[in-house]
Amino acid sequence: MKKIKTFIRFIKGLLLKFLKFTVNLFKRFLIFIHRKKRRAIPFYGLFGYIVLVIFLVKISGDSAYNKTLANKRVNDVTQINPIQVGQVVQPHSTKEIIKAIQTTNGKISIGGGRFSMGGQTGYNNSLHIDMREFNKVISIDKDKKQVKVQAGITWRDLQKEIDKENLSVKIMQTYANFTVGGSISVNCHGRYIGHGPIISSVLELKLISASGKILIANREQNVDIFKAAIGGYGGIGVIVEATLQLEDNVKVERYTKMVDLTDYNNFFSTNIRNDTNVIFQNGDLYPPNYDVINNISWKKTAKELTDTTRVTPEGENYWLESILVDVVSWGNFGKWVRRKLIDPYIYGSDKIVWRNKEASYDVAELEPKSRAEKTYVLQEYFIPVNNIQAFIPKMKAVYEKYDVNIINVSLRHAFPDKESFLSWADEEVFAFVIYYKQGTDNESKEVVKKWTIEMTDAILSENGKWYLPYQPHATIEQFKSGFPNSDQYFAVKNGIDSLHRFNNKLLDKYNPYLKPLIERERENIKDYYRDEEQTVLTVPEWYLVFNPKEYADYLEEGKNPSDFPFYASIDEYWKLYDRSQKLVSEAYPANKEYNTMLQVIGVSVTMEYAVKISYENTIGTFFGWFANDSISQKEATIIEAQRAYSNFIYNTAWYEFKFMPWIGKVWKASDNNDASWLREWERTLFFTVEFSFKAFYAQLIGLAAESSYEEPTTDIYLLVSSEKELEGINNVTVIKHQNDKKIIAIPRWGTFTETILKLSDQNIDVIEIGGNDEIVVSYLMNKGTHHKFDNLEVLYSSDVVTNINKIRLVAMLPVNNLLPFVHYTKNNSIELEHVFDY
């Protein structure tokens, strides 16, 4: 206690000293400034200016705005596969699923627990059916040891119910967070001995097809659908119900043994394979040498429990486990710590638990503190039992070549599955479950892709297969050789879902029926996909184009430039900024870089307008009193310059504008005798200072842009459907076409809006723009007038600062409604101001 007090006193002393030092420094600085007036005036001028800018930023904006866009991003546990879907439904009944399917006509993706790791649960702009709320136990037949469930139920929720009857899931994964539908759709497996994939425990499925029809599939009825849907990755239909075989919940005791890799096959076949008392088993193969296996098996027992928990509860704190996983990821030292310290500690004690307890681990125990820069990912290889000794050196060589940070390799056993079309076990195999750490940046992703393709070759060379719920890096050729029965799977799919509505990133890559589609070309076009949030976020940036236009309009109308509403303009910018930030806050990942840019330009314009407010409300107003009705040539040229600038920035970065020649033009313009010479010269000088400063600032920004910015994307790509040739239309380039479908490119920015205005008179259906299904537009209307256009969501209204009778509406609409809406504005005297092109 005494020590703590002394320490606090010491810290207090230090802080006081620092405070004194700072105050003294400031005092000295003030004395220095006050010693001479020529220092004090600029100092206080600058100080006042900074205070004014901060004040203006603080009092501007719209912090009360609270509308947010719906979150339509589907991602998985790794956080590296975000997919923007078009609509998310969370059904509670079969009827709701049928309705969702029948009232839409686009692609459909299905999500369970979202633990698959390569876009298997999402597809861009699709109707996403999130099954997690469709999660009831329908019936339990205690005598037959069978259960019927809704497919969105998690294993843990099911375990909680069947545990009451002392029953247990027959086959499932190690962790209990997965949904039954998701597990069946990947044909999962676990550490169970004497079994293979889950299919052998599935008795019947109820599915909803792409047309909304209910189908029952089992080993007698709709047999092909049964074989295709299990391990079918949501490509056949929505599994709404499943009937599963259960087993008794028994007590199990843990046994561990270190086995040399070379002895493993022999050890396994002698001690584990045929022992009906072994319920769970796995062998941990230690990196980086991959020469010893820690065999962990759980055998039925009648002994006393060491832990009486029946099912692992949710919400436990796994801080220690999370740290341990992190420690193991510290290179070879971490691997040594695991083998020599962590594992001996974990497996050092006796353990006798319920089967349900051992089958209900929580994935939370693997969750790191953050997945922002590094994430943990799984892969799994299925190698025929007799080929593992030959495979392991090949696997090791790939990991060593690419310096892959392997945390764990867990071997499990599976008997063959001759039923499912996408079967991963044609023969008896050992599954190698690989847990590794990777970077989340694009470069790291590319490296993973490279080594995964090499690993897939190694797997194929030993007649193995790999697990499809993980990143689908394998090439189409590799997929075909690994899964030769995929032809049968896709034939069944094509028969029941001929429009291939059920889709996701995995099926999209390997489905041979999708091959000829023009949609495939999208992946080959650089910058085809644009981030959807950009259409919302770019509005304030565009305000800095609309506002100079308003200024030029204002001057052309002969109004007094000193009366221009500079403060209202700043306020409007920050309002648009606050609103766009709020709108995207829940729907999209944070776009820090763009937000910083918006803050920088917002502060820059506030600084510029703060000067103008100060000047125009004092000197500007004073000289305005001398103005008469005539306008001098110089002032007319200034107006021309402001117009040229405002036109220029619709299509080009502001800092590329040539400011200096306009100063020359203004000075060269002849004097006009009728106009007030005082006002003329005051305006000329003010303009000269303004444009000179902008020219200087533009040079600086231009240099910075050259050295740091990437080449900007100049075109936006649209997928459209049109019978008409579009070749001749100005600014439209047809990149690819197939029948009526076309991928066209249109230059971005101002030209984009102009071209959309032109296209609105053509018979064209827009399918997507920049890979997105929604876009933001702004349009101007007289206050008090109303319009009605379906499917248009007005996000907010904004002021036209120079005209109190007008209002700017910022709205979001589906891209397929863009051209009809533009057409509507034309026919209803609504001024379409801008289409925000991401």
Instruction: Please report, as ranges, the residues that interact with ligand FAD according to CB under 6 A.
Output: 77, 110-116, 120-121, 131, 151, 173-175, 178-179, 181-183, 185-186, 188-190, 233-234, 238-239, 363, 366, 378, 469, 504
State the Cα–Cα distance between residues 527 and 715, nearest whole angstrom. Answer: 8
State the Cα–Cα distance between residues 434 and 285, nearest whole angstrom. Answer: 10
Q: Measured from the CB atom, is 223 or 705 closer to ligand FAD?
A: 223
Q: Measured from the CB atom, is 376 or 554 closer to ligand FAD?
A: 376
Contact 637, 665 (CB under 8 A): yes
Contact partners, residue 641, CB within 8 Å, separation at least 6: 662, 665, 666, 687, 691
CB of 257 to ligand FAD, least distance (A): 21
Pairing of strands 214-218, 202-208: antiparallel
CB of 708 to ligand FAD, least distance (A): 38
Residue with the CB atom nearest ligand FAD in the bound state: 182
Q: Measured from the CB atom, is 110 or 766 closer to ligand FAD?
A: 110
Q: Measured from the CB atom, is 110 or 767 closer to ligand FAD?
A: 110
C-alpha closest to that of 832 among 759, 731, 728: 759
State the Cα–Cα distance between residues 792 and 814, nearest whole angstrom. Answer: 8
Dihedrals phi, psi of 77, to nearest 5 degrees: -60, -30
CB of 306 to ligand FAD, least distance (A): 24
Place of tokens 């006042």: 48
Q: Measured from the CB atom, is 175 or 436 closer to ligand FAD?
A: 175
State the Cα–Cα distance between residues 779 and 543, nearest whole angstrom. Answer: 13
CB of 511 to ligand FAD, least distance (A): 13
Residue 171 backbone class (left: φ over 0; alpha: ψ -120 to 50; beta: rest): beta
CB of 528 to ligand FAD, least distance (A): 24
Q: Measured from the CB atom, is 363 or 514 closer to ligand FAD?
A: 363
State the Cα–Cα distance between residues 383 and 462, nearest whole angstrom. Answer: 7
Q: Measured from the CB atom, is 129 or 404 closer to ligand FAD?
A: 129
Residue 791 backbone class (left: φ over 0; alpha: ψ -120 to 50; beta: rest): left
State the Cα–Cα distance between residues 262 and 768, nearest whole angstrom. Answer: 56
CB of 287 to ligand FAD, least distance (A): 18
Q: Measured from the CB atom, is 502 or 749 closer to ligand FAD?
A: 502
CB of 185 to ligand FAD, least distance (A): 3
CB of 378 to ligand FAD, least distance (A): 6
Kindly give the interhelix angle for 677-708 and 660-668, rounded to the nearest 10 degrees: 160
Taking the CB of residue 563, how many other CB atoms lie within 10 A of it?
Answer: 14
CB of 243 to ligand FAD, least distance (A): 14
Rg over alpha carbons for the chain, rounded to the nearest Å, is 34
Q: Measured from the CB atom, is 497 or 774 closer to ligand FAD?
A: 497
Q: Measured from the CB atom, is 75 or 485 closer to ligand FAD?
A: 75
CB of 455 to ligand FAD, least distance (A): 18
| Residue 529: exposure state from Cβ atoms within 10 A (0-12, 13-18, ≥19) | middle
Q: Measured from the CB atom, is 78 or 798 closer to ligand FAD?
A: 78
Q: Measured from the CB atom, is 173 or 405 closer to ligand FAD?
A: 173
C-alpha closest to that of 149 among 226, 216, 242: 242
H helices, E strands: number in the chain: 25, 27
DSSP 297-330: EEEE--SPPS---SSPPTT---HHHHHHHHHHTS
**At 221, is the secondary structure helix, strand, or coil?**
coil
CB of 127 to ligand FAD, least distance (A): 12
User: Cα angle vertex 671, ends 665, 673, to 5°?
Assistant: 155
Q: Measured from the CB atom, is 163 or 497 closer to ligand FAD?
A: 497
| Residue 543: exposure state from Cβ atoms within 10 A (0-12, 13-18, ≥19) | buried
CB of 111 to ligand FAD, least distance (A): 5
Q: Measured from the CB atom, is 153 or 352 closer to ligand FAD?
A: 153
Q: Measured from the CB atom, is 181 or 482 closer to ligand FAD?
A: 181
CB of 536 to ligand FAD, least distance (A): 28
Q: Measured from the CB atom, is 217 or 610 closer to ligand FAD?
A: 217
CB of 276 to ligand FAD, least distance (A): 22
CB of 366 to ligand FAD, least distance (A): 5
CB of 109 to ligand FAD, least distance (A): 6
CB of 132 to ligand FAD, least distance (A): 8
Q: What would the two tokens of residue 428 be? A: 């008896």
CB of 833 to ligand FAD, least distance (A): 41
C-alpha closest to that of 389 among 259, 517, 209: 259
List Cα–Cα distances, 473 to 85, 119, 527, in angstroms. 22, 11, 21
Buried b (16+ CB within 10 A) or exposed e, 367-379: eeeeeeebbbbbb
Per-residue H/E/C for 385-451? HHHHHHHHHHHHHHHHHHCCEEEEEEEEEECCCCCCCCCCCCCCEEEEEEEEEEECCHHHHHHHHHH
From edge to edge, which strands make up the β-sheet containing 352-354? 352-354, 251-260, 292-300, 278-285, 405-414, 429-439, 374-384, 465-466
State the Cα–Cα distance between residues 502 and 487, nearest whole angstrom. Answer: 17
Q: Measured from the CB atom, is 112 or 602 closer to ligand FAD?
A: 112
List Cα–Cα distances, 24 to 15, 20, 37, 101, 117, in angstroms. 14, 6, 21, 73, 59
* Maximum Cα interatomic distance, the chain, rounded to a whole number of Å: 112
Q: What would the two tokens of residue 145 be? A: 């040891």
Q: Measured from the CB atom, is 238 or 716 closer to ligand FAD?
A: 238
**At 555, is the secondary structure helix, strand, or coil?**
helix
